């Protein structure tokens, strides 16, 4: 299967239900991204700042770039001028920095709070309590140059469908509570970024609005980057 065909097949699968497809292109060469681009794909996700900036500089300017991996505060400045969505906000410190750099670029930067849902110790993310604490803080309420548009989660790397389902369900349920408590009259808070190549169908069943798909489009990566 070609990259173009993979994109078309996934799009057909998810378009009717209004789920957004992020083509996760980390480690892949520009030629692969262009093939996806020519098949109509315009949203790409990367997990490393340097690689993302290099691709942004060399590929067509109508691409929307999403950062999906852990972001260090000292690197925010490189992506603040152009990034479309940061999926991986996992601390108030990071959010403050994004707000500061957003102000410098005269932008309001769209962000998702990354919520910890996996049964693994290595994954980044905010616990439910930490997310609530962040959203309740005076510091957050003063930020003018960020826009929290939803939540993101990475499920456990397992094939157990019942566990994956449970984790996605938890994120969806938490999303509903957060929407009700903090974003009731804010139509922009509507995204749940969950689901990757191996589990996106299950994630969509549980209410995902954004799926992040890499290997299912571009083939396996040569090395593990998470
Ligand atoms: C790499 C990555 C993906 C895509 O993974 P695939 O299994 O290749 O689809 C999705 N989300 C995040 C955060 C990633 O780092």
Each residue's pLDDT tens digit, 152-198: 999 999 999 999 999 999 999 999 999 999 999 999 999 999 999 99
Cα(169) to centroid(ligand 1), Å:
19
Average pLDDT score over the chain:
95
Pocket test for ligand 1, best of 195, 212, 221 (most atoms within 8 A of CB): 212
pLDDT: is 14 or 209 the higher one? Answer: 209
Query: Is the pLDDT confidence value at 18 over 90?
Result: no
Confidence tier at 226 by pLDDT (50, 70, 90): very low
Q: What angle do CA 50, 51, 53 make, to 5 degrees?
A: 65
- Whole-model pTM: value is 0.96
The residue whose CA has the least distance to atom 6 of ligand 1 is 214
Q: Which residues line ligand 1 (CB under 6 A)?
A: 24, 26, 47, 68-69, 154, 196-198, 212-216, 226
At 4, which helix (H) or strand (E)? Answer: helix 3-15
Dihedral (C-alpha) 76, 82, 86, 91: value to the nearest 10 degrees? 30
Q: Distances from the Cα of 180 to the Cαs of 36, 139, 175, 184, 187, in angstroms?
A: 37, 21, 9, 5, 12
The residue whose CA has the least distance to atom 4 of ligand 1 is 214
Which is it for the CA torsion 194, 196, 199, 204, positive or negative? positive
Each residue's pLDDT tens digit, 208-222: 999 999 999 999 987
- Whole-angstrom Cα distance, residue 86 to residue 107? 13
Cα(24) to centroid(ligand 1), Å:
6
Where does residue 49 rank: exposed (0-12), middle (13-18), buried (19+ CB within 10 A)? Answer: buried
Ligand 1 atom with the shortest distance to the CA of 218:
8
pLDDT score, position 224: 52
Cα(121) to centroid(ligand 1), Å:
17
162, 119 Cβ separation under 8 angstroms? no
Domains in the chain: ranges and CATH? 3-217 (3.20.20.10)
23, 45 Cβ separation under 8 angstroms? yes
Cα(154) to centroid(ligand 1), Å:
9
3-state secondary structure of 65: strand
pLDDT score, position 123: 66
Confidence tier at 13 by pLDDT (50, 70, 90): confident
Cα(139) to centroid(ligand 1), Å:
31
Confidence tier at 90 by pLDDT (50, 70, 90): very high
Query: Is the pLDDT confidence value at 148 over 90?
Result: yes
Minimal CA–CA distance to 28: which of 5, 1, 59?
A: 59
Query: Is the pLDDT confidence value at 16 over 90?
Result: no
């Amino acid at each position: 299967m070609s990259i173009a065909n993979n994109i078309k097949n996934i799009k057909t699968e998810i378009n009717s239900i209004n789920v957004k497809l992020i083509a996760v292109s980390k480690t892949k060469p520009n030629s692969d991204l262009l093939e996806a681009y020519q098949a109509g794909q315009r949203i790409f996700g990367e997990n490393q700042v340097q690689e993302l900036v290099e691709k942004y500089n060399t590929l067509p300017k109508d691409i929307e770039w999403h950062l999906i991996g852990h972001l260090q505060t000292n690197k925010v400045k490189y992506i603040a001028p152009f990034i479309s969505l940061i999926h991986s906000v996992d601390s108030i410190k990071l959010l403050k920095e994004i707000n500061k750099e957003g102000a410098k670029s005269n932008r309001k930067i769209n962000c998702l709070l990354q919520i910890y849902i996996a049964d693994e110790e290595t994954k980044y993310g905010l616990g439910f309590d930490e997310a609530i604490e962040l959203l309740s803080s005076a510091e957050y309420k003063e930020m003018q140059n960020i826009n929290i548009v939803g939540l993101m989660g990475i499920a456990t790397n397992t094939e157990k469908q019942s566990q994956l389902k449970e984790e996605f369900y938890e994120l969806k349920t938490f999303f509903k509570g957060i929407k009700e408590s903090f974003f009731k009259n804010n139509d922009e808070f509507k995204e749940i970024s969950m689901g990757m190549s191996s589990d996106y169908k299950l994630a969509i069943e549980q209410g995902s609005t954004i799926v992040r798909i890499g290997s299912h489009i571009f083939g396996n990566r040569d090395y593990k980057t998470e």
